[in-house]
Every structure is written in C-alpha cells, then in structure tokens.
C-alpha cells in the first residue's frame, strides 16, 4: 500500500510513502523494546540534556518544518512556526522539571520506611492526528520519553512527511538510546500492534470513534490508554462581558488552524441582552480574516486538510440551516482549486441541529441564544463532549464560579482555551480520559510503585 500526501491548497500530490512490511514493524518493536530496557538505566539528566538539544534544533529548523506542515495539511506559515516554538517550549519545560516531578516521595505509612516511586512502563504506541502534526506528538510523547519510556509513532497517513521529520528531529538530538520511531502503516494494523506484548500502553489523539476502538483493544490486553478526543467547546458570553473583546477572542479561537482544532471555540452561547451586539461584531471580525494559500503572506486561514473533510463540514452547515439555523456569513464552497471553506457564521442554533450536537472541524461558528446565565450553563453542558470552555465577564470572580459549573476538563475566563505545558490537559465524557502535560501528564504513563520497609 502507498500513502499519498496531497497539498490541500491545490489538490496536487506532494509525495508517496510505502507501507512498512510486517517484518520491518516487528524489527522496530524489538529495537524500541531493547532501547527501553537499556535507557531506563540511564540517568534522567541525560534525557534532559537531549531535550535541551532538541529544543535548539527545533528552533533552527522552524521555517522548514512550518513549510512542510503548510504543504501537507494546509497550516498557515505563521501558525506553523508558532507550533514548532511551542514544541521547543515543551521540550525545555520537561527537561527542567521532569526530575522533580518523578523523584521518589517519602510517605508516613508505618514500618521503618515507605515511599512512592515513579518508573517507566515500556514501549508506548502513540496514534496521532494530522491537525497539529508536531505539537500533538510532542504533547503526548515528551513526558513519556522523559519518564524513561520509548515511543512508536503511528501518525495520520496524510502527514507521513511530518512523521519522518519528527523521527529525524529526535535522532538529531542524540538521546542516550533511540526514543522514537515512526511506523508507516495502515490503521487496520494498529490493533495487532496494540496486542504485541512489547507494547505497554497506548496514547491516542483523535475522534471518539477511534478512541473507542483503541480503548476496547487496549482493554482486551489490559493495557492503559490515554485518550484526547473531540470537542465542541462552548464560549459563554455573559451580560456584563466586554462584548467587543469577547468577539475578537472568540473569532481568533474559532479560526485557529483554520478551525481544525479539538479545543477551538465552536458553540458561542450568548445571553439575550448582548446577543445582537455580539453577532454584529462576530460577523464583522470573521469577514475580515484573510483566507488563502497557507504559504502566502498575512493569511489567517488556509484550506481544510482534505476534500472529504470539507464536504462533511459543508453538509453540517446545510443540514443545520435546513433545520432552522440562520446563515449570517459564508456557507458556500468557493470555486477553484484546493479544499477551502470560508469563515461561516450561523445563529438561532438549537439542540438537534448538527452544529450544536456534533463537532465542527472548520471555520464555522454557531451562535446559540440563551435567556440568561443559568440557561447558558445548561446549554453548554448539554453536549456529549467535555473538553474545554470559556466564560466572558467583567467580574473575574464570578467567571470562576461559572467555570466551576461547566462539565469540561479545561475552562478559561476571558481568554480562549489553549494547551499549556504547565497545566494538565484533557477532557471528560466523549472527549476522552487521562491527562497530558504538567506533573499530572508525566505521571500517567509510569508505574506508580509503593514501597514499604519494616
């Protein structure tokens, strides 16, 4: 089988990649398990030094890596450079703090001595998506490697070039042992890899459907899995919000990565007293954003990554309008090459319409009316997803109170939701389970061992 990279800005083929045969995958598994056994005996400081080197390499190669992302999945260059900078930051963060996070903790539990140890598990299979082809891998992989694990990366077929570039980056950083290898294999082969006894755990970023399948397979083998899945993040605009500032932040969040982000703002729940003003400002700011070839200058959003994804997004918009939503902006597939979709705004969105019930992966904003704050909270929680949310109010203390009522893993008050190395990241409900980043994330893929001595 061949995997083909297609430039979503013009639909042209970039490169093809041959699938790895079964014996080659088995050989990689053998080597990475051996690397784990050898590497876990090395001082954690050796890995810290390598991640500091990796951070420098990322910054040196930033422009080329951003261009690769633009060509393989349509990310505007400025956003691609920012993604690489964030990977460098994460590498530095764990290089500086991982040893503290994993140090043995003495406990009082009787006996002469008792303590908790944090030890690596082994080879971790990382099944990753195309939308943040570097950050998603680093977000799940850096902490696991710092803890002493090794990574098998099964990346999305459309970004094989990024997958190989990531492997090259880790090789260039000269870790004490090999710590990451990319597997160019079809998704149908993932269950067999999960079953392999040399694989200790699985981490996946993707759709709820993919997460359910991986969790079922990992559970059958009694292996831990970390799942970061979809989201339909609600942004609540309350009566006392700075509506102009809220509209600007909401548009920026909705259009990050051309709207193709699990934690992008998707549902804008606005209380009636400020809804008309918010709608006007939101449409104005959405209309002002520049769409075009992601390698161009001053581009805010590029194409949707694949034709089928654009068609699915448009179908969600059409069905929502058919069911009573009102179109304020966009909503038409443009003529010409590439898989572009314009900034689109719907209002009068209600439960039962696709843009309320489903995750929309593209530049489509759904404005949902709410009579008051209590209804806004109810509507926000009336979703199968539970990844992120934001609250806009001039009373920050009250914003915290509203945040405590929202059934999600991440809430930001007066700003957009983002992943930050210093804070645990993840969701509940169909948005997954487990956490990445911070001290919580590095302790997910380790053996938490209790030792008691008499």
Q: Which residues contact 402 (CB under 8 A, 6 or more apart)?
A: 236, 238, 373, 377, 391, 393
Which one, of 59, 228, 195, lies nearest residue 127 by Cα? 228
Our answer to whether residue 228 is catalytic in this structure is yes
Q: Which of 250, 213, 209 is nearest to 230 (CA)?
A: 209
Q: Which of 262, 358, 359, 373 is catalytic?
A: 262
CB 346, CB 356: distance < 8 Å: no
Short-list 193, 202, 176, CA closest to 40:
176
β-bridge partners, 347: 326
87 is catalytic: no
d(CA 381, CA 288): 31
- Burial tier of 295 (Cβ tally within 10 Å: 0-12, 13-18, 19+): middle
Residue whose token pair is 């930001």: 412
Neighbours of 185 (CB within 10 A): 22
Query: Do 233 and 387 meet the contact criterion of CB atoms below 8 Å apart?
Result: yes
291 secondary structure, DSSP code = B
CA distances to 59, 70, 165, 359 from 64, rounded to whole Å, are 10, 10, 10, 31
Exposed e or buried b for every residue in 390-426, given b needs 16+ CB within 10 A?
bbbbeeeeebeebbebbebbbbbbbebbebbbeebbb
Q: Which of 228, 279, 358, 436 is catalytic?
A: 228
- Identify whether the C-beta of residue 339 lies closer than 8 Å to the C-beta of residue 303: yes
Distance CA 354, CA 12 (A): 31
Q: Strand 12-18 to strand 265-271: parallel, antiparallel, or no bridges (unpaired)?
A: unpaired
CB-CB contact of 109 with 115 (8 Å): no
DSSP H helical segments within 196-306, as ranges? 208-220, 243-255, 272-287
CA distance 199 to 179: 14
What residues act catalytically?
228, 262
């Amino acid at each position: 089988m061949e995997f083909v990279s297609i430039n979503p800005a013009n639909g042209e083929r970039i490169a093809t990649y041959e699938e790895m045969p079964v014996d080659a995958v088995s050989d990689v598994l053998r080597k990475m398990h051996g690397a784990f056994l050898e590497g876990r005996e090395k001082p954690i400081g050796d890995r810290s030094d390598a991640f500091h080197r990796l951070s420098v390499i990322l910054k040196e190669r930033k422009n080329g890596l951003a261009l690769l992302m633009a060509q393989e999945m349509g990310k505007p260059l400025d956003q691609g450079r920012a993604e690489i900078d964030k990977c460098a930051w994460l590498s530095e963060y764990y290089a500086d703090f991982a040893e503290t996070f994993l140090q043995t903790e003495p406990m009082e539990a009787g006996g002469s001595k008792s303590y908790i140890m944090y030890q690596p598990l082994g080879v971790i299979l990382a099944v990753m998506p195309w939308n943040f082809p570097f950050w998603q891998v680093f977000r799940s992989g850096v902490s696991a490697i710092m803890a002493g694990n090794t990574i098998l990366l099964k990346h999305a077929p459309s970004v094989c070039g990024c997958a190989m570039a990531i492997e090259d980056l880790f090789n260039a950083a000269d870790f004490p042992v090999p710590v990451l290898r990319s597997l160019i294999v079809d998704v149908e082969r993932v269950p067999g890899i999960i079953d392999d006894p040399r694989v200790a755990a699985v981490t996946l970023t993707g759709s709820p459907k993919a997460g359910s399948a991986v969790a079922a397979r990992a559970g059958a083998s009694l292996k831990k899995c970390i799942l970061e899945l979809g989201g339909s993040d609600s942004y609540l605009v309350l009566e006392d919000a700075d509506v102009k500032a809220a509209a600007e932040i909401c548009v920026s969040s909705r259009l990050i990565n051309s709207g193709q982000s699990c934690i992008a703002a998707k549902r804008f729940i606005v209380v009636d007293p400020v809804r008309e003003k918010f709608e006007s400002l939101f449409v104005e700011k959405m209309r002002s954003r520049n769409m075009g070839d992601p390698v161009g200058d001053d581009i805010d959003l590029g194409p949707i990554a694949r034709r089928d994804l654009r068609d699915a997004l448009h179908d969600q918009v059409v069905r929502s309008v058919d069911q009573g939503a009102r179109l304020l902006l966009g909503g038409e597939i443009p003529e010409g090459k590439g898989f572009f979709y314009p900034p689109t705004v719907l209002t009068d969105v209600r439960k039962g319409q696709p843009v309320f019930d489903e995750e929309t992966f593209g530049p489509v904003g759904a404005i949902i009316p709410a009579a008051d704050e209590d209804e806004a909270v109810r509507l926000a929680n009336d979703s199968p997803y539970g990844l992120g949310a934001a609250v806009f109010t001039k009373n920050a203390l009250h914003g915290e109170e509203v945040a405590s009522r929202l059934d999600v893993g991440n809430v930001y008050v007066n700003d957009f939701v983002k992943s930050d190395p210093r804070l645990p990241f993840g969701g509940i409900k169909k948005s997954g389970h487990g956490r990445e980043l911070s001290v919580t994330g590095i302790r997910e893929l380790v053996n938490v061992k209790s030792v008691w001595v008499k």
